Every structure is written in C-alpha cells, then in structure tokens.
Structure 1
Amino acid sequence: MSIEVGSKLQGKVTGITHFGAFVELPDGSTGLVHISEVADNYVKDIHDHLNIGDMVEVKVLNVEKDGKIGLSIRKAKDQAQQSHRPQRHNRANNRAKEDFEAKMARFLKDSEDRLSSLKRNTESKRGGRGARRG
C-alpha cells in the first residue's frame, strides 16, 4: 500500500515530542503530525490532545523523497465536523464590534498623543543653542 498525498488513513500514535506526534500508518511506515496540525486552535501542550496508543485519523500532507511523511489531524476532519458556525448579525455582535472600533480609535488617539509628546520632548533635548550637556 503506497501512501498518497491527500489520502485519509487511520494510524496509531507511537511517540510524542514537544514539536508533534509520530503516527504509525497501516503499511507500517511512520509519519509526523506537527503540533500546528493537531487541532484547529492553539496547542500549547500536545499531551492535552494526544496520548501514546491513541488511534487517530490523519490526512497525508506530503511525502518527501527521503521517506518523511507529513500528516495532519485537523485537516482529516470532514468539513461538517469542523466548527464553522455561521456568523449571526444581532445586536450583541454589532455592539461588540462597535465597542472594538471605539477601543481601537481610543488606542490610536492615545498612541498618537504619546508619540507626538515623545517627539516634542526628544527634539528639545537634541542640543542646539543654549542646551546644557550633562
């Protein structure tokens, strides 16, 4: 059985490192699921998602000439299983968006005020006539 890019296979987790998990495939070869391909959300500790001996469905991302196999658990999920929620347009979302826009505008104004104040203070200390040197 040859491993083809894009195929979905069942595999067994045989090893876990800080950068990913090694999965043994049905033909006996081993591939790597990088930590970024374990779940849709950020994975700080891979042990929160996988354990040695777990059976997982993986999708083959690439097969290198030297035999290395790149795998993904998150891309093996069907589109229906993934949590793609339709965005609802209600008052709470609109209010949250307005709150964000207001916060961003306030942040930009404060940032520009601080930057102009910093420039004023810095330029007055650059020297020139009458400036003291410490």
Structure 2
Amino acid sequence: MSIEAGSKLQGKVTGITHFGAFVELPGGSTGLVHISEVADNYVKDINEFLKVGDEVLVKVVNVESDGKIGLSIRKAQDRPERPERPERAPRPEGASRPAGRPSGGQRPSRPQGGGRGGARPNQPRPAVSFEDKMSRFLKDSEERISTLKRQTESKRGGRGARRG
C-alpha cells in the first residue's frame, strides 16, 4: 500500500518520545506524529494523550524523499468547517481609520504640534526644513543633558566623581 500525503490511515502507537509519537502504519512503515499535531490545544506531556499500543486515526502530512513520514492526529479528526468570514469591502483611497481605533495595535499619535499651545484645526502647518528640525532637536537635547548633569553633580558633591 503506497502512502500519500493527505490520506487518512489507522495506525498503532509503537513509541513515545518527548517530541512526539511513532505510529506503525498498514504495510509496516512507521511515521512520526509531532507533539504539536496530537491535539488542537497545547500538549505539555504527550503521555496524557497517547499510550503505546493505542489505535489512532492519522493523516499523512508529508512523505520525505528519505522515507520519513510526517503524521497528524489533529488534522485527521473530522470537525465542522468554520464558516468563512464575509469579505470586507476595501477601504477607499485616502480614507482614514475610524476615530479611537489605531491601526496595528499602536497607540494613537499625539496631535501635531506636541499638544502645546492652542490647536489649529484644519490649518496646514508651515513647512519646516530638515536642518531646522535638526537644530531644534540638538538645542533641546543639549538643554536636557546640561540639566541632567547639574542634577547629578549636585548629588555627588559637585566634583563629578564619588570619593570612597
């Protein structure tokens, strides 16, 4: 009997390891059911689900060129098909997401302008060059660093190094 991917067969568990179970198939060949293919839920200990000598229905997942046979107990079980979700209508070009629902699990972004001063709704912001942005960033950064240095130096006695 030839074993082909996709076929369902009755087999007998011949060995159990920490990573799966070996199942003897009709015709004497043996395949492996990986621990992830034993049940639909998480399997911590395969011995809770299978024992040597158990008769199991398996589905052939793959047959490799070197003769290894990959099996699945989980995929062999007939369960009702989940109803497919209806297709969503594509979002029109340029349409934004509904308010209060950020995309991709991200936090909503802050309003333009950093929240300082009054917001000017529906007014375009003046274009700022990269150089202007960079110089503003460097100025803010230097101010923060100097404040931090003053605070840490006062805690250390003003000399910069701790004396032991």
TM-score class normalised by the smaller sequence = 0.5 to 0.7
TM-score (norm 1): 0.64
Cα distance in structure 1, aligned partners of 2:52 and 2:40? 20
Give unpaired runs (5+ residues) of structure 2.
83-106, 108-143
Q: CA separation in 2, counterparts of 1:53 and 1:35?
A: 17
Distance (Å, rounded) in 1 between the aligned partners of 2:148 and 2:17: 57
The residue that corresponds to 2:31 in the other structure is 31
Alpha-carbon distance in 1 for matches of 2:150, 2:77? 70
- Pairing of 1:1-134 with structure 2 (within 5 A): 1-80=1-80, 128-129=149-150, 131=153, 132=156, 133-134=161-162
Other-structure match for 1:95? none
Instruction: Name the structure with the higher helix share.
Output: 1
Larger radius of gyration between Structure 1 and Structure 2: 2
How many Å separate the matches in 1 of 2:54 and 2:150? 75
Structure 1 residue 129 displacement after superposition: 3.4
TM-score, normalised via structure 2 length: 0.52
Q: Which one-letter code corresponds to 1:67 in the other structure?
A: G
Determine the C-alpha separation between the residues in 2 that align with 1:43 and 1:63.
Answer: 24
**How far does the alpha carbon of each residue in 1:48-88 deviate from its partner, in whole angstroms, 9 at most, with x for none?**
000000000000000000000000001000024x9x7xxxx
Q: CA RMSD in A?
A: 2.3
- Quote how far apart the aligned CAs of 1:18 are: 0.1
Question: Which 4+ residue blocks in structure 1 deviate beyond 4 angstroms?
Answer: none
**Structure holding more strand per residue:** 1
The one-character-per-residue Cα deviations of 1:103-127 (angstroms, maximum 9, x if unpaired) are xxxxx9xxxxxxxxxxxxxx88x95
Identity of aligned residues (%): 72
Following TM superposition, by how much is the alpha carbon of 1:27 offset from its aligned partner in structure 2, in angstroms? 1.2
Q: Which runs of 5+ in 1 are unaligned?
A: 85-107, 109-122
Give 1:128's aligned amino acid: K
How many pairs does the alignment contain? 94
